[in-house]
Structure 1
Amino acid sequence: MNHSLIIALDFPDKQKVLNFLTPFDNEKLFLKVGMELFYQEGPGIMYDLKSLGHKVFLDIKLHDIPNTVKNAMKGLARLNCDLVNVHAAGGVEMMAGALEGLEQGTPLGQDRPLCIGVTQLTSTSEEQMQSEQLIHTSLQESVLHYASLTKKVGLDGVVCSPFEARHIREQIGASFLTVTPGIRLTTDDNQDQKRAATPEFARDEGVSAIVVGRSITKAKDSVAAYHQINQLWKGEGA
């Protein structure tokens, strides 16, 4: 899991996903299935991607009462995903229920999917957090608080921006995963991401895994873009 590059499959249907993946030949990738794709295609998309040998991050950010999340995770564990997440704002009891559901639902002989907690979305600024969520601390303090709760419950890490990863690692430990979306090249438009950063910055901050979407999926040559970003991320040829 450490030092992974996860491609966000922000496509509306399976055919567009398969069209995107075709030029990669038989390369084994780490792919993110989010709400847009999962809600259109359902669990079948998971079986399709896993049958091709890819790792999958199921990014549907569960956030509900503890029993509902627990039972939902029982079902998701059977999809053979490698990574799944919940909103840390759902609280300790909900996150504990998520973990319990994953453990109960994981088939015998298989590893439980890793589970991480979303702290603050990378589309959220500190001003928005304070005015709209009424959280009257700094954004960094909010993220660290959620991360500490997530660690306390026993989850494997958090979703955060690269700007908080170093502080999380220093306060919670290097083995605690930090998965960071909002990764862009310097030539890219940040669009809806408020706290975007480059692959090099994420690497220097000790991030565990980066999630990259449009910089790869919207590139003229997606395969070349993937390898370029992977080299920058891993510091190869620098």
Structure 2
Amino acid sequence: MNTHIDARDRLIVALDVPSAAEAERLVDRMGDQVRFVKVGLELYTVAGPDIVRILVDRGKRVFLDLKFLDIEETVRRATARVAAMGATFLTVHANRKALLAAVQGRGQSNLKLLAVTVLTNFDGEDLRDMGIQRSVRDLVTARAQLAAQVGCDGVVASGEEPAAIRATVGPGLIIVTPGVRPAGTGTDDHARATTPTQTIAAGADYLVIGRPIRDADDPALATAAILAEMQTAFDRRIG
């Protein structure tokens, strides 16, 4: 069985830009080495479903990061609309009713649902401010278990948690990790940032990277360096 992982399939570049035109320019500058992109709240707010369709038509896989959380009927219907756009991943907050509604809404489509466990800018003090007394790791693993139970395909978690998720839930759940920063760069507003090597060694499947590529003088060169580090880490993990 071929167990090779191509890093180009596992890097998700966050298109955190304020217009569709800028998103397309960034995609152009990165070139064919990027196959998977993330559309988040900023870009979706200004460009809407059209940007998803444009990117899909350009042959890109799209991670639509809208973090749905609403009453069941709203989540169910909205998820069905996302599935019709051709997106590959969609995020939903790890609330049982919202997750179940999203599973129903995606129907028989190929849309994969990711439960958001704990945002990467949160730490234990943030959880306590919300009235949650559990540690970040305990809450992440509990929400990963919930995601698996209700039929989600994966979770979004920081690079500090994949090992704990794997120990609790097993190998079948997709783990997507944002807040990944190449060594020597800042963590920005991520409280639990990790490097690509650390993140992959811990067990993550996909890495979401935005500002280190978007803000680079040469996004294509920055992407190539990140892909090289990722490929080495995946090869080492498999070997």
Task: Tell me whether the two structures share a fold, i.e. TM-score over 0.5.
Answer: yes
* Structure 2: distance between partners of 1:209 and 1:26: 18
Counterpart residue identity of residue 32, structure 1: K
Residue 92 in structure 1 maps to residue 96 in structure 2: yes
Q: Is the 8 A contact 1:202 1:233 kept in 2?
A: no
Counterpart residue identity of residue 107, structure 2: E
2:45 aligned partner: 39
Flag structure 1 segments of 5+ consecutive residues without an equivalent.
107-111
* Structure 1: distance between partners of 2:117 and 2:6: 19
Residue 24 of structure 1 deviates from its aligned partner by: 3.4
Residue 127 in structure 1 maps to residue 125 in structure 2: yes
* Structure 2: distance between partners of 1:102 and 1:71: 9
1:59 aligned partner: 65
* Structure 1: distance between partners of 2:32 and 2:189: 32
Residue 217 of structure 1 deviates from its aligned partner by: 0.8
Flag structure 2 segments of 5+ consecutive residues without an equivalent.
none
Q: TM-score, normalised by structure 1?
A: 0.92
* Structure 1: distance between partners of 2:107 and 2:216: 39
* Structure 2: distance between partners of 1:52 and 1:82: 14
2:210 aligned partner: 213
* Structure 2: distance between partners of 1:23 and 1:58: 21
1:177 aligns with one of 168, 174, 177 = 174
* Structure 2: distance between partners of 1:127 and 1:230: 34
Q: Percent identical across equivalent pairs? A: 32
Q: Is the 8 A contact 1:129 1:135 kept in 2?
A: yes
Which consecutive segments of 4 or more residues in structure 1 shift more than 2 A? Answer: 23-28
* Structure 2 SS opposite 1:158: strand
Residue 8 in structure 1 maps to residue 35 in structure 2: no
Counterpart residue identity of residue 97, structure 2: E
Q: Is the 8 A contact 2:30 2:223 kept in 1?
A: no
* Structure 2: distance between partners of 1:212 and 1:56: 14
Residue 26 of structure 1 deviates from its aligned partner by: 4.1
Q: Is the 8 A contact 2:157 2:177 kept in 1?
A: yes
Single out whichever of 135-144 and 16-25 deviates more from structure 2: 16-25
Residue 102 in structure 1 maps to residue 106 in structure 2: yes
Q: Is the 8 A contact 1:28 1:53 kept in 2?
A: no
2:158 aligned partner: 161
2:228 aligned partner: 231
* Structure 1: distance between partners of 2:107 and 2:188: 37
* Structure 1: distance between partners of 2:29 and 2:116: 32
* Structure 1: distance between partners of 2:114 and 2:168: 17
* Structure 2: distance between partners of 1:145 and 1:223: 38
Q: Deviations over 1:182-208 (max 9, x none)?
A: 000122111111000000001110111
1:49 aligns with one of 36, 55, 70 = 55
* Structure 2: distance between partners of 1:28 and 1:224: 12
2:85 aligns with one of 76, 79, 86 = 79
Q: Is the 8 A contact 2:12 2:36 kept in 1?
A: yes
1:109 aligned partner: none
Counterpart residue identity of residue 149, structure 2: K
Residue 23 of structure 1 deviates from its aligned partner by: 2.6
* Structure 1 SS opposite 2:13: strand
